[in-house]
């Protein structure tokens, strides 16, 4: 079980690296001047490759987390809260994919400030999940 737990932590950490960095690319994309096609294409390529890389990491984090959940049981309010936050983080991941699609289509209408705020959401999620898992407040 310790191997499963270690792999879960490794994949969660790796997935979060992508969740932290992809919106930073969105910030840069939102700031690209209209006449800078090469810069826009380079950032879109980076974002696309990052999203393709981080998606399997997220899936593996969920697989190993589910294995832990099944092995240790379903009890505790903290676990239900963690699962709810996990669902929200998956939704956030999918939303990032949608935002990337909007950028690829050239339809972004949001400012870099919006994406700076968007970038803070996974930080709050990680903070809450770690507190729930370590402290188990309820």
Rounded distance between C-alpha atoms, residue 129 and residue 89, angstroms = 10
Q: Go through the chain and tell me how many residues it has.
A: 138
pTM metric for this prediction:
0.95
How far is residue 83's CA from residue 71's CA, in Å, rounded to a whole number? 15
Into how many domains does the chain fold?
A: 1
Q: Which domain holds residue 131?
A: 2-135
Give the chain's count of helices (H) and strands (E): 5, 0
d(CA 50, CA 31): 19
Residue-wise pLDDT for 50-102, tens only, equals: 999 999 999 999 999 999 999 988 788 999 999 999 999 999 999 999 999 99
Q: Is the per-residue pLDDT at 118 higher than 90?
A: yes
- Rounded to 10 deg, the angle between the 37-72 and 77-104 helix axes is 160
pLDDT band at residue 111, thresholds of 50, 70 and 90? very high
């Amino acid at each position: 079980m310790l191997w499963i737990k270690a792999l879960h932590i490794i994949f969660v950490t790796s997935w979060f690296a992508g969740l932290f960095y992809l919106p930073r690319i969105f910030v840069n994309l939102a700031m690209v001047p209209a006449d800078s096609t090469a810069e826009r294409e380079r950032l879109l390529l980076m974002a696309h490759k990052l999203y393709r890389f981080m998606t399997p990491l997220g899936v593996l984090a969920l697989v190993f987390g589910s294995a832990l959940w099944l092995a240790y049981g379903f009890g505790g309010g903290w676990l239900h809260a963690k699962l709810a936050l996990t669902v929200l983080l998956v939704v956030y991941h999918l939303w990032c994919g949608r935002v990337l699609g909007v950028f690829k289509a050239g339809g972004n209408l949001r400012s870099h400030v919006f994406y700076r705020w968007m970038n803070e959401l996974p930080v709050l999620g990680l903070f809450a999940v770690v507190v729930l898992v370590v402290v188990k407040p309820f």
